Chain A
Amino acid sequence: MRGMGITLTVLGGSIILGYLMAFIAGFCRLSNNTFIRKFTGFYVEIFRGTSLIVQLFWFSYALPMLFGIELGSDLVAGILAISLNYGAYMSEIVRGSILSVSNGQTEAGIALNLTPFQRMRYVIFPQALRMMLPEFGNYLIQMLKATSLISLIGMTDVLYYGNLLRSSNLAIESTVYLFILIFFFIIALPLIFLTRKLEEISKKGVET
């Protein structure tokens, strides 16, 4: 089926960039530097406060039209919108998980004379990551669902070709949508499986 490539590319790109964004923004929001903290906070609120569809349109139409900023292609616009949007949500998970590691862990690190970086690297972050994993898994599946929105900015993904096919031949309408349903579900399956695995991993070695 045509369009699969596009859907998978957008999904893959968004996942990688989205998680990257989540960690960068999550750490920035914990920075000692007020400007960095405020600036990232602003980014997170903007992207969480507006809907993904609006952001998609902004990236593909409004930015080029109003400011002459061309992102190159719809593909880039789609990936950027989705990853910045989900990155904003997930940065809150990163930040929250790091903050929720108990203060006693930091104090034990100080008592052992670890540097601040070593405390983060060996003590706080590994524990925070275990808390993040299950939630990250859930967002994986949400990101997959979000990729179907890119047909709205004219991208030729699975849903786009589905719609095309349907309008050319009304008789197969239900079959087409059934196929699309199955397609998304088949991609979702490994993601769901991965989420389960992540949950299991995160249960090991946690504070009791």
Chain B
Amino acid sequence: MSKPIVTYDEVTKSFGDVEVLKGINLDIMPSEKVAVIGPSGSGKTTLIRMLMTLEQPTDGAIIVDGENLWQMEEKGRLVDADEKHLSKVRGDIGMVFQHFNLFPHMTILENCMMAPVQVQKEDKKSARKRSIEMLEKVGLGDKLDNFPNQLSGGQKQRVAMARALVMRPKIMLFDEVTSALDPELVEEVLEVIRDIALEGEMAMVLVTHEMEFALDIADRVLFLDDGVIAESGTPSEVIEHSQNERLQSFLRRFRS
């Protein structure tokens, strides 16, 4: 068996006095597709934001590809990671946000090219070529010079995915990427995610309310409830055969 690409080891997170995550233990394998479901406020977003280094865990450790993400060794002691350490480790991780967060002052192409050129020091020509290919792949090859505010929500979200993908992450995080979209635009975005998933090599963590979709592409489903992973297993184990009372009522609310 190969080693996990990400490990959560007894990770907790509190905001003030409120303990939002209460001891998360989780292994994610390379190329594994993990769907995270759960009621609003159960900590799904917080769970993946900690991996993207947008939120610091209160306790515990997150290991990415063998490296401790939030801590580093200094004179033989573990100390909080500095920006340099964080930037080294998070290079493997990409994220797509609920509200796209495209850069409004740049064209679609510039949105995609900027990080490969600035962060990975790729030369402009090749970054441009790869960005165009990626934008074509998500069906936006004809919008290269448009600005984000000239696109529909579904198109924006597809740009956001292309922008993350050109960085060639080993792990991609998706935080309810369709929930800010008009219903008729959801399918085009799910379609792209499905394509990426089928290519296979990247690990993916999807926080989603799209049950059917999760069932379809995930290798594993986590049910997060009240700050703990209350259920974990294959989609059919979790969604169809679980005995967990709270999970059942959560699913029932969805189906109605």
Contacts and interface: CB of A to CB of B under 8 A. Distances in A.
Are both chains from one complex? yes
A115 interface: yes
Interface string B103-123: 111100000001100110000
Please classify the interface of chain A as helix (H, G, I), strand (E, B), loop, or mixed, using the class held by over half of its residues: helix
Contacts of A118: 118-119
Contacts of A113: 87, 90-91, 115, 119, 167
Given A111-B52, A112-B119, A113-B167, A104 B101 contact: yes
Interface string A190-208: 0000000000000011111
A110 B54 CA distance: 8
B53 interface: yes
Interface stretch (B36-44, B92-100, B241-249): B92-100
Contacts of A104: 97, 99, 101
Contact of A112 (B83, B147, B149, B167): B167
Interface stretch (A42-50, A51-59, A64-72, A119-127): A119-127
Interface string B137-160: 000000000010100000000000
A115 B52 CA distance: 14
A123 B119 contact: no
A114 B104 contact: no
Contacts of A116: 83
A154 B87 CA distance: 58
B164 interface: yes
B90 A107 contact: no
Interface in B46-102: 52-54, 83, 87, 90-91, 93-95, 97, 99, 101-102
A111 B94 contact: yes
Nearest to B90: A113
Contacts of A123: 103
Contacts of A122: 103, 114, 118
A192 B40 CA distance: 51
- Please indicate which of the listed interface residues B54, B104, B106, B163 has the most CB atoms of chain A within 10 Å of its own CB: B104
A205 B105 contact: yes
Interface of A: 104-105, 107-108, 110-116, 118, 122-123, 126-127, 130, 204-208
22 contacts: A104-B97, A104-B101, A107-B97, A107-B101, A108-B101, A108-B102, A111-B54, A111-B94, A112-B115, A112-B164, A112-B167, A113-B115, A114-B119, A127-B103, A204-B147, A205-B104, A205-B105, A205-B106, A205-B149, A206-B104, A207-B104, A208-B149
